[in-house]
């Protein structure tokens, strides 16, 4: 007799259902992230063309924080998609006045492009590392959260103190924290810790958003554009 033994993936110890589900979340997350970033760029361009004031930008940022809670509440329903586009659109528009300021500096356009390129390099590099190694970076969660809280408190304090060196330190710290969060959030998706692609997109979007802002600030200081 010529008997043949057939091994299924489950018999071999592989959970293909979980893998397919994780890959689907990852694919949907990156697709939605790309669309929301493009939409943010569009609204930022509109805000720049309208020459919105910094006060308006502050109001838009506050509105964005409110919409963030809306997105998280609606992430499990069909209303989550329009909510996340509303959130990212408002956050993109809030960047308009800041971008106009930096673009008005000597060498401003090159500065903004360097910040964009640096942000993309950091994001794709760290994402690729997390995807390739598939390491679990969940252990970083507590440390990153504490660091973020300290950075936020320091930022609020520096509004009143106005210490340039502290501002520079805060930006450097936030860049490190956002880099860690990219690893952490990507790892959560890969390892099934985050199964909602809308919430996953929001997390990665905020990482990129803050990374870009503070990298732009650091570059402007080092190049002497923001004295």
CA atoms of 16 and 13, how far apart (whole Å): 9
Q: For 40-53, what is each residue's pLDDT tens digit?
A: 999 999 999 999 99
pTM, entire model: 0.87
The rounded percent of the chain whose pLDDT value lies above 90 is 67
- The per-residue pLDDT for 224 is 64
Residue with the larger pLDDT of the pair 136 and 207: 207
Structure tokens given for 8: 């299924």
Structure tokens given for 87: 């959130």
Q: For 52-72, what is each residue's pLDDT tens digit?
A: 999 999 999 999 999 999 999
Structure tokens given for 20: 């397919």
- The per-residue pLDDT for 20 is 60
pLDDT band (50, 70, 90) for residue 17: low
CA atoms of 189 and 203, how far apart (whole Å): 11
């Amino acid at each position: 007799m010529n008997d043949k033994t057939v091994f299924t993936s489950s018999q071999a110890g592989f959970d293909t259902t979980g893998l397919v589900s994780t890959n689907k979340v990852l694919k949907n997350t990156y697709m939605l992230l790309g669309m929301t970033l493009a939409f943010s760029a569009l609204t930022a361009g509109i805000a720049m063309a309208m020459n919105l004031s910094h006060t308006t930008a502050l109001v838009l940022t506050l509105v964005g924080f409110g919409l963030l809670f809306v997105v998280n509440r609606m992430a499990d329903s069909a209303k989550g998609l329009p909510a996340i586009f509303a959130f990212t659109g408002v956050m993109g528009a809030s960047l308009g006045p800041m971008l106009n300021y930096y673009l008005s500096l000597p060498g401003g356009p090159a500065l903004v492009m360097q910040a964009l390129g640096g942000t993309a390099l950091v994001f794709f590099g760290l994402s690729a590392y997390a995807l390739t190694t598939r390491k679990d970076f969940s252990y970083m969660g507590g440390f990153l959260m504490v660091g973020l809280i300290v950075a936020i408190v320091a930022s609020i304090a520096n509004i009143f103190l106005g210490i340039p060196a502290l501002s520079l330190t805060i930006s450097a710290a936030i860049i490190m924290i956002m880099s860690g969060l990219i690893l952490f959030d990507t790892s959560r998706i890969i390892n099934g810790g985050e199964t909602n692609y809308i919430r996953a997109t929001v997390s990665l979007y905020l990482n990129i958003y803050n990374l870009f802002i503070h990298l732009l600030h650091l570059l402007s200081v080092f190049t002497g554009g923001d004295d």
